[in-house]
Amino acid sequence: MNRKNFIKKTAAAATFLSSGAINISCLNKKKSRKKITILHTNDVHSHIFPIGSVNNKKTNLGGVSRRATLIKKIRETNPNTLLFDAGDIFQGTPYFNYFGGELEFKLMSLLKYDASTIGNHDFDNGIEGLHAQLPNAKFDFISSNYDFSNTIMDGHVKKYRIFQKDKIKIGVFGLGVELNGLVNSNAYKETKYLDPIEIAQDLSGFLKNDKKCDLIICLSHLGYKYKNQKKVSDVILAKKTKDIDLIIGGHTHTLLDRPTKLINAANKIVLVNQVGCFGTHLGKIDFYVNSKTKYYKSQILSV
């Protein structure tokens, strides 16, 4: 299938799934609205080419080349676009076993990812293996609740980043799952796990009040939700914090047909989204922002 036909087919297949208003009044202020597009993936797990099945279902979806074509088309439509990943870039195909993550980081760099958080499987070659591949990543790693100060990763991971698109400030921070009991301690060494709720509350407040960010996004590898309500998840994070606009999730391989809308601790809407695994889908959320309001539309695009 040539590129032109592929784009047409992809555009026709992409289903508009949801839209919502954090404050619907902005629809009456079209001239002052600015559109910010957030694209995201999670748990790609070293899948470079399309795959034939996921969870015993035939898909013929995914592949870096297809994702690149889709992302390029969206960026041409709106230059105010950011591309994020929610972790578990590594582990899942022989490409990781052979290249140790080099190929994954180089391809993500070619796709011009803006940032990623760190998942538990990104430690599968040890913290030294992750560190060794950093020169191949031309994007930032953001992890706010992993304290790397006594490890080889110290100074290579950001606590947060602020992006600016068309004078709109987008603050981004990242959260990782508890590594103890999930990852061999020899793999993550002296990395310390900090309470994600406390970190999220402090950082999101800092980004909103001190840094005056218009949108606040959390890249999370905590998992969507669990039967054990004591285990921190994206759903719990959303309810217990008050300044996050969007949580881009990973870890549980949850494919949502639309972002989950939850009410946070300040009685405001926070969105939680996750797009399965293996790069078969691309999340797309358009925020329409002015000085007082935020309005969003979302899509889950098959790759």
Can you give the residue ranges of every domain in the chain?
A: 36-283
Give the homologous superfamily in CATH for domain 36-283.
Metallo-dependent phosphatases (3.60.21.10)
**pLDDT tens digits, residue range 183-242?**
999 999 999 999 999 999 999 999 999 999 999 999 999 999 999 988 999 999 999 999
Distinct helix (H) and strand (E) counts, the chain = 8, 17
Instruction: From 120, 62, 58, select the one nearest 89 (Cα to Cα).
Output: 120
Confidence of residue 56 (pLDDT cuts 50, 70, 90): low
Burial status of residue 64 (CB atoms within 10 A of its CB: 0-12, 13-18, 19 or more): buried
Reading the block at residue 156, the tokens are 């290579």
Residue 210 DSSP class: I
- Is the pLDDT reported for residue 12 higher than 80? no
Q: 4: alpha, beta or left, given left = phi > 0 and alpha = psi -120 to 50?
A: alpha
The span from the CA of 167 to the CA of 265, in Å, is 28
**pLDDT tens digits, residue range 69-93?**
999 999 999 999 999 999 999 999 9
- Is the pLDDT reported for residue 96 higher than 60? yes
Burial status of residue 8 (CB atoms within 10 A of its CB: 0-12, 13-18, 19 or more): exposed
* Residue 53 three-state SS: strand
Confidence of residue 5 (pLDDT cuts 50, 70, 90): very low
Determine the pLDDT at residue 24: 33
